[in-house]
Amino acid sequence: MQCKYETIISNELLVPQTYRMVLTCHTCAEMVPGQFINIKLKEFSLRRPISICSIDGDRITIIYKVVGQGTKALSEMKAGECIDVFAPLGHGYPIESQRDRVLLIGGGVGIPPLYELAKQYRKLGKHVDVVCGFPNAEACFYEAEFTELGAHVYIATMDGSKGCKGTVLDAVRHYQLTTTFICACGPLPMLKALEAVYNDGYFSLESRMACGMGACMACVAKDQKQADMYHRICKEGPVFPIGKVVLA
């Protein structure tokens, strides 16, 4: 965990409103899939937490959606510029090498952290199914990249313009994916729907954060079993076992 100036290698539009940035990173050796980096942007008080999509030697890839002024400023940064990065933060997805199959389920910009995870499970020779949910065909990304890893990719779009029409769970049913160990990341309604079906695996949560390292208590989730127990999304998370924290 260090705060360093890194160099942007590339920063380009991937699909509408969604960008892919490749940057150098001093702390690649420490990183695990599901962790995040916290980016300082000029003129903004708080850092922007963004999940790590791919770890490649001394570089990482992040994929982020422009949702406000901070991510807009990030999207306007150019290759060659320096960027203040605090990384890696949080606890990622444990790699469970005893598993033969893993089902990865992502919604929108919840998909990127699953890419590095798919890569690591594929390196272990595991069967990896990936279900990616998008609003429409235009918003789809990384189908080819996951396929290149040797993962089986299934697409769900809400308008049915690509793959299965409906949610990721509709796609799971449609394509009869029976793996019960899942790792998921995506919007809260998606995670809640998955929680009703699956109890074995991990969820990655998103939250508004301040310090990003566990000091300020801005991003807490309640424990499902112990009423007075809490977990910091930035520190104990963002990845939690299914059933650990209250999804709210």
Partner 1 sequence: MKQVDLHIDLPGLKLKNPIIPASGCFGFGREYAQLYDLSILGGIAIKSATIAPRFGNECPRVAETPSGMLNAIGLQNPGVDKIIEKELPWLAQFDTEIIANVAGSNEEDYVKVIEKLNNQPTVKAFELNISCPNVKHGGIGLGTDKELAAHVTKLCKQAAKKPVWVKLTPNVTNIVEIAKAVEEAGADGLVMINTMLGMRFDLKSGKPLLANITGGLSGPAIKPVALRMVYQCAQAVNIPIIGVGGITDAEDVLEFLYAGASAVEVGMANFTDPYCCVKIIEALPKVLSQYGYQSIKEAIGRSFKNE
Dist. CA 38–CA 226, nearest whole Å: 30
Least separation, in Å, of the C-beta of 130 and partner 1? 29
Beta-carbon contacts of residue 123 (< 8 Å; ≥ 6 apart): none
Should residue 144 be labelled a site residue for partner 1 when binding is judged by CB under 8 A? no
- Stretch of residues binding partner 1 (CB under 8 A), selected from 22-30, 98-106, 170-178, 220-228: 220-228
Least separation, in Å, of the C-beta of 48 and partner 1? 10
What single-letter amino acid sits at 208? R
Name which of 211, 230, 178, 248 is nearest 3 in CA terms.
211
The correct pick among 207, 236, 243, 244 for binding partner 1 (CB under 8 A) is: 207
Should residue 218 be labelled a site residue for partner 1 when binding is judged by CB under 8 A? yes
Dist. CA 151–CA 171, nearest whole Å: 16
Dist. CA 126–CA 183, nearest whole Å: 14
- Stretch of residues binding partner 1 (CB under 8 A), selected from 106-114, 153-161, 173-181, 212-220: 212-220
- Pull the structure tokens for residue 52: 């790590």
Should residue 212 be labelled a site residue for partner 1 when binding is judged by CB under 8 A? yes
Least separation, in Å, of the C-beta of 72 and partner 1? 13
Least separation, in Å, of the C-beta of 224 and partner 1? 14
Q: Residue count at the site for partner 1 (CB under 8 A)? A: 31
Should residue 215 be labelled a site residue for partner 1 when binding is judged by CB under 8 A? yes
Using CB under 8 A as the binding rule, the residues of this chain from 31 to 70 that contact partner 1 are: 40, 44-47, 70
Q: What is the DSSP letter of 123?
A: H
The correct pick among 124, 188, 197, 216 for binding partner 1 (CB under 8 A) is: 216
CB distance 54 to 120 below 8 Å: no
Least separation, in Å, of the C-beta of 38 and partner 1? 9
Dist. CA 167–CA 205, nearest whole Å: 18
**184: β partners:** 105, 203
- Stretch of residues binding partner 1 (CB under 8 A), selected from 25-33, 108-116, 180-188, 227-235: 227-235
The residue (of 101 and 222) whose beta carbon lies closer to partner 1 is 222
Phi, psi of 79 (to 5 degrees): -55, 140
CB distance 216 to 234 below 8 Å: no
The residue (of 14 and 213) whose beta carbon lies closer to partner 1 is 213
Should residue 211 be labelled a site residue for partner 1 when binding is judged by CB under 8 A? yes
Beta-carbon contacts of residue 162 (< 8 Å; ≥ 6 apart): 134, 136, 137, 140, 155
Q: Which residues bind partner 1 (CB under 8 A)?
A: 1-3, 40, 44-47, 70, 84, 86, 207-222, 228, 230, 235, 248
